[in-house]
Structure 1
């Protein structure tokens, strides 16, 4: 890696010197936002820079521009994009979901560079054609993820929940589970770097399981986007090599849903109907669904939904949809009644460290907390 980096720098320096001799200005460096500790995607350690950093260097070399990394924490999702890329701290960010609904017109995207998502991990010697092949087995899933929701609808597969993919892979290695249905980039990277390619890591196709990722730019940066698209075309083969280097899954994806299967259909929408474990008596007059917010509050609730999905969905699910009852925020009204607002505000401003929830008071303003709470009021299960 270091030799390639030095070669690239030598090329850029010689090009710059030649341009200066001819009276031309050297090209400005390309500032790219990266997380300093997010392998296999990116790292500030030059010995293991990560896939996105190496792709960024290749893009810069193809464009004849040096690359300047801008280190920024990406855990906070959309908020991180707002405070870095959209704040003008960098020119582009690699690895954003290529989805027009992701922050809308605030961003424009390059052509896709990769697809990322969830994968099924089994011993290398084993072939899997569908989830039906896992009937009667123990399958590791990550807390608050689409795979967890999917397996919750099946009684013939025992889901074993872990918070992190590293824990799930360790359980698989210890034979505490028979397979793992977890985040693919980390599963593939661990399989290559820790488990010596012991496992077959296969992408799973289905709603909420795979996404195209691209390089994102602030809205209006169409000229730069076109230049980067041209560079992507020129380095497409190198991107494939780099993806393999970092263990990204290359197996043919398995499609969910077998029309000949007798297993229950996997319906994500069922998660929105999550009810108490104890049956609730049906009243003589049905209770109304949660009322829509007054027209003046609809924008507040919409802003709250965007904040929630950008940060809170990591644990509580997009739109607060999850099959884990203990973290189901759609049940706040049922649990706390008139004290729902008070409980929410205390929790987000103090945290619950013993349960892994941080204090968010240094991240969101009071107005933003109010927006998130307004959104949660619109989705309460009565």
Structure 2
């Protein structure tokens, strides 16, 4: 998942992941070592990424962050070059800040220890339920119809606080946050449990819930929780994370984001990512397949 600010919100300190979302240790480098000519490659778009973290990225370049990287590289007129490392504590320190790459594609705005570009998308946690089930019309976590139902939630993510506030945590099933994603996928496992009836609803970072709901073997409904007003927040703006002080690089990437935003949105929509505008309202984006049907 992307590097989100989930645990920052819960412990008063954008995911992931992500929505996720894993925590990254920070190291402060001297400003002189952070200038673009010293570290940012000119002959490739060097990306730090997880080799097994769908729907975000994998070594086969099947994730939406891989597709976003392709678009940026196309605009910069250079090839993509990856440095692969599983996300977890120290991810940014051991990749971006050592100069092995120049960008992390998915980083929650405001999360340390990187400098942020402008957001390239905003999303929100979702409640995934069976399309024909009794919870299909629920839009808020304070809906009394959730009482007595078992909801799945990833440990230490923002929805946990909301379930505690509503007295729903005692019936919830918890899934691990920090796992080796080559072998485990909490989001995929949660959707499988929903399909089998083990749980009645799945609370997931929007990009994860939307992607795996599309791949489930039963009809599921993805409900973006845009009406939630409590704390911690359930929506996050996702940026490119770069090294501090590399302002020229930041401005260049911001220019790419502005120019290719529509392309980014089409990729994200094709993966089932619920997208929000700057006011936090859902936006509708036609995927390439849908556009073809319209013609």
Deviation at 1:58, TM superposition (A): 0.2
Change (3 A) 1:245 1:254: closer
For normalisation by structure 2, the TM-score amounts to 0.67
Q: Aligned runs of 1:280-295 on 2, under 5 Å? A: none
Per-residue CA deviations over 1:165-223 (Å, capped at 9, x if unaligned) read 33322222122332222232221111112346632241444424222111111111111
> SS state of the match for residue 171, structure 2?
strand
Match of 1:243 in 2: 268
> Are 1:178 and 2:200 counterparts?
yes
For normalisation by structure 1, the TM-score amounts to 0.53
Change (3 A) 1:254 1:173: farther
Match of 2:156 among 131, 141, 144: 144
> Are 1:94 and 2:94 counterparts?
no
Change (3 A) 1:203 1:69: farther
Distance (Å, rounded) in 2 between the aligned partners of 1:88 and 1:175: 47
Structure 2 contact 123–275 (Cα < 8 Å) conserved? no
Deviation at 1:120, TM superposition (A): 1.2
Deviation at 1:247, TM superposition (A): 1.6
Match of 1:188 in 2: 210
> Are 1:114 and 2:127 counterparts?
no
Change (3 A) 1:88 1:154: same
Structure 1 contact 119–202 (Cα < 8 Å) conserved? yes
Match of 2:165 among 144, 148, 153: 153
Deviation at 1:254, TM superposition (A): 9.0
Change (3 A) 1:157 1:216: closer
Match of 1:67 in 2: 80
Deviation at 1:148, TM superposition (A): 2.1
Structure 1 contact 148–159 (Cα < 8 Å) conserved? no
* Two-structure CA RMSD over aligned residues (Å): 2.7
> SS state of the match for residue 96, structure 2?
coil
The structure in which a higher percent of residues are helix is: 1
Change (3 A) 1:184 1:33: same
> SS state of the match for residue 131, structure 1?
coil
Change (3 A) 1:254 1:140: farther
Deviation at 1:72, TM superposition (A): 1.8
Match of 1:41 in 2: 56
Change (3 A) 1:110 1:175: same
Structure 2 contact 57–64 (Cα < 8 Å) conserved? yes
Q: How many residues align?
A: 222
Change (3 A) 1:198 1:219: same
Per-residue CA deviations over 1:300-338 (Å, capped at 9, x if unaligned) read xxxxxxxxxxxxxxxxxxxxxxxxxxxxxxxxxxxxxxx
> SS state of the match for residue 57, structure 1?
helix
Deviation at 1:115, TM superposition (A): 2.1
Q: Which consecutive aligned stretches of 4+ in structure 1 deviate over 6 angstroms post-superposition?
A: 251-255
